[in-house]
Amino acid sequence: MGIQLGIVGYGGMGGFHHRNASKIEGVQVVGAYDIDPVRVQVAEESGLRGIFVPGGFACV
C-alpha cells in the first residue's frame, strides 16, 4: 500500500511538495487542504482531493 500523503497548504510550496513527493517510490499524494478555496481548486485540478473547511481547522 505504501504511504498516503496529504498536503496542508497548497500555495506555491504545496505544488512543489506535491510534484516532488509524487516522485518517491511508495508515496501517493492523495489530498490537499487549504484555507483558500481557490488553492483547493488548483489542487483538485492537479488530481488531488481538495479539502476546504470554512474558518479553518479551528471549526472542526
pLDDT the model gives residue 60? 52
The pLDDT score that the predictor gives to residue 59 is 56
Tens-level pLDDT at each residue, the chain (60 residues): 699 999 999 998 999 999 999 999 999 999 999 999 999 999 999 999 999 987 776 655
Residue 12: per-residue pLDDT: 86
The single-letter code of the amino acid at 39 is R
Going by the DSSP 8-state scheme, the letter that residue 48 receives in this structure is P
Bridge partners of 29, per DSSP, are 5
What pLDDT, on a 0 to 100 scale, did the predictor assign at position 33?
94
Grid cell listed for 30: 492523495
Cell of 34: 487549504
pTM as predicted? 0.82
